[in-house]
């Protein structure tokens, strides 16, 4: 009898008092301004986080010396409504280039008026990471993971809108 693996998903959301275009732009073009600095996987802290703005583009961090550390790829690119990333960081927080072992991070932006946007994050298919995926899902669901990341994004998006 085969072992049945339950789908592993983390869902988070945040409302930001900014237009949808602004929310999307801050999310994908200014990630290094709001992504928690301690959440780097390169040997050194990141200076930039780059989202190549197209399906198939890379998602990666770059340190001050120009060294890149891959996180994943863009699976869907539909500005300003949706972006989906592959997440190649397993339970050991190391990059695995195998797409079959990558989870997916879906970000949806829903306009709730001219100056309000709901941002919904779904990190799905975590079970693809294999052994240890349950622990990874638990870590991603803690207050210091996606919740903190979205809180910092909301602060940056709001701050940028007021500037």
Whether residue 3 is predicted with pLDDT greater than 70 in this model: the reply is no
Mean pLDDT over 150-161 rounds to 91
By mean pLDDT, which of 1-5, 24-28, 119-123, 145-149 is the weakest? Answer: 1-5
Share of the chain above pLDDT 90, in %: 83
Listed residue (106, 95, 4, 79) closest to 42, CA to CA: 95
Strands 68-78, 10-16: pairing kind? unpaired
> Which residues are within 8 A (CB) of 25 and not within 5 positions of it... i.e. 6 or more apart?
80
pLDDT of residue 40: 80
pLDDT in tens, 19-34: 999 999 999 999 999 9
Q: Band of the pLDDT at 160, cuts 50, 70, 90?
A: low
- The reply to whether the predicted model has a pTM over 0.75 is yes
Partners of residue 74 on adjacent β-strands: 85
Question: What's the CA gap between 78 and 84, in Å, rounded?
Answer: 9
Residue 159 has a pLDDT of: 87
pLDDT tens figures, 53-87: 999 999 999 999 999 999 999 999 999 999 999 99
Domain ranges of the chain: 10-161
Q: What is the 3-state secondary structure (H, E, C) of 8-52?
A: CCEEEEEEECCCHHHHHHHHHHCHHHCCCCCCCCCCCCEEEEEEC
Q: Which CATH superfamily is domain 10-161 in?
A: START domain (3.30.530.20)
């Amino acid at each position: 009898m085969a072992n049945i693996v339950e789908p592993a998903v983390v869902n988070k959301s945040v409302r930001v008092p900014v237009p949808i275009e602004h929310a999307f732009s801050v999310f994908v073009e200014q990630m290094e301004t709001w992504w928690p600095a301690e959440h780097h996987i390169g040997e050194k802290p990141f200076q930039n986080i780059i989202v190549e703005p197209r399906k198939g583009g890379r998602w990666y961090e770059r340190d001050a010396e120009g060294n890149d550390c891959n996180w994943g790829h863009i699976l869907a690119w539909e500005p300003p409504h949706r972006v989906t990333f592959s997440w190649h960081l397993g339970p050991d927080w190391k990059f695995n280039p195998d797409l079959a072992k990558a989870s997916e991070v879906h970000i949806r932006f829903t306009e709730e008026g001219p100056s309000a946007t709901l941002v919904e994050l779904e990190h799905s298919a975590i079970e693809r990471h294999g052994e240890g995926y349950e622990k990874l899902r638990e870590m991603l669901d803690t207050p210091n993971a996606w919740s903190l990341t979205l809180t910092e994004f909301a602060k940056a998006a709001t701050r940028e809108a007021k500037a």
